[in-house]
Structure 1
């Protein structure tokens, strides 16, 4: 009895003799290399049986809304709080530089700011949110803003891990960002005129932690930069970080003095610092356009280099590791995702 392999070889030789083309699955000429081809699409019911290396991860571009929302919501909110405080005669406007030691009672004029201001009326951000109704909005901004800060920090942490940069700088940035969020909650919910000690503790935690976060993110931006646009973004963030550092230091120096003018200057520096930090958070829109489901998994597993898809082991998992290495070389600000070709044994013709 003839072996099945011999029958197949005979049929191949017969086809060659008759001039019938022979496909790659039947025979390969000597010296020709095998070429890997993409795996054909399979029914959706078979998709869970494959590792994620077999699937193309599409960017979850909706995440770009998060940093923009954080900046727009917080900056707009604190200025609304300031406007409400000025109109309710709880603080004096920023453009006012004239302060008195004491002021006689004056009849409030609806729609007009105060005309006689004391040191208690300096428009510090915290002072603007001390009294209702603006204190209610101030607390809401602090709580919602803190939640969005934590989300931004977690996504950025996972994205840096995905780009094969597991280092203490990334972990420190995550810790400082979450610490900043805790401080924001304390600042927003403990008003300076009603719980001064807790409010100052929250401010003392939030401001330095926020500055540390932006400085560490500048370092990480340079580390993961690939294209010229990535480096320009890193330069821009360094400029924002320097502005935040200068304004925070000046605010602290001016705040400890009793001079009305220096106290007012401290309030202006505090506003500059806060807006600067919020703009910095908004710049993560540049990277978040490439966030995928793989990014989320990288942040949860914290082992992007050592694990593939986490679904199967073997050739498929090996392909996943290779595809992850390739993704680490992609520009963090790019919006396109490359298609991964899988060189698995199933895609190679067997003689």
Structure 2
């Protein structure tokens, strides 16, 4: 079971990346978006049927997988000796990211813009925070296991840093009414977050079991 579970993060990354670009292709094909007018935001591509239905299903299933990954990660970190308070902060940050992703899929931009933007904030900005907290944890607790090759940690740092830079650029470019450039930043941010989730496959590859219920010791079984 645990061997197959280690593939879940990689499957999520593949599912999400393939899915959003499929939605983009459908939106272009049926002319829901016009590339001659500029590069569209992800949400604009998923605002009109039939791709809006695919968009909702895609993000709902992706959110469910992301939430499950965050829960498994919580128990893995607990079994590695991470304190309960900080571990729960990380967990709830990840769950808010998953919830925001589902909200983005279910409340389309053209129907419920305020709710949609709130979901996008949780999915993108809080999602980025989730991975920064993971990096801070491993910097702070140097005794934690470091699965995978030595370059995995610098890769994560690079992806998180680039994601943050692009978020700032996205907001500024949108404010300057450079919507195509801002939308390109949004697409890049989404791809980076998907890849960061996918990298959990490295951590889960050494997962040979963990307790998935409250425990005073928090040890492996």
Whether the TM-score (by the shorter chain) exceeds 0.5 is: yes
CA distance in 2, matches of 1:280, 1:189: 24
1:237 pairs with 2:156: yes
Q: Residue 168 of structure 2 aligns with which residue?
A: 249
Distance verdict in 2 for CA 1:60–1:156, change over 3 Å? same
Supply the RMSD in Å over aligned alpha carbons.
2.1
User: Displacement of 1:146 after TM fit?
Assistant: 0.5
Compare CA radii of gyration and give the structure with the larger one: 1
Q: Is 1:196 the equivalent of 2:113?
A: yes
Cα distance 1:302–1:230, how it changes in 2: closer, same or farther (>3 A)? farther
Counterpart Cα distance in 2 of 1:180 and 1:197: 17
Tell me which of 195, 208, 211 is aligned to 1:279.
195
CA offsets per residue over residues 191-217 of structure 1, 9 Å max, x none? 101211211121122222101101011
Q: How many Å separate the matches in 2 of 1:199 and 1:157?
A: 28
8 A Cα contact 1:78 1:138, kept in partner: yes
Distance 1:227 1:89, change over 3 A: closer
Structure 1 unpaired stretches of 5+: 1-58, 94-114, 309-323, 328-351
CA displacement at 1:226 relative to structure 2: 4.1
After superposition, the C-alpha distances for 1:39-73 in whole angstroms (9 at most, x for unaligned) are: xxxxxxxxxxxxxxxxxxxx821111110111000
| CA distance in 2 between partners of 1:225 and 1:239 (Å) | 20
Secondary structure (helix, strand or coil) at the match of 1:300 reads: coil
Which is further off, 223-232 or 132-141? 223-232
- Matched pairs, number: 219
User: Which residue of structure 1 lines up, in the alignment, with residue 90 of structure 2?
Assistant: 173
Q: 1:199–1:271: structure 2 CA closer, same or farther, 3 Å change rule?
A: same
Greater helix share, structure number: 2
Aligned partner of 2:101 among 175, 181, 184: 184
Instruction: Report the 3-state secondary structure (helix = DSSP H, G, I; strand = E; otherwise coil) of the residue aligned with 1:301.
Output: coil
> SS at 1:245's partner residue?
helix
Question: Which residue is equivalent to 1:99?
Answer: none
Following TM superposition, by how much is the alpha carbon of 1:292 offset from its aligned partner in structure 2, in angstroms?
3.2
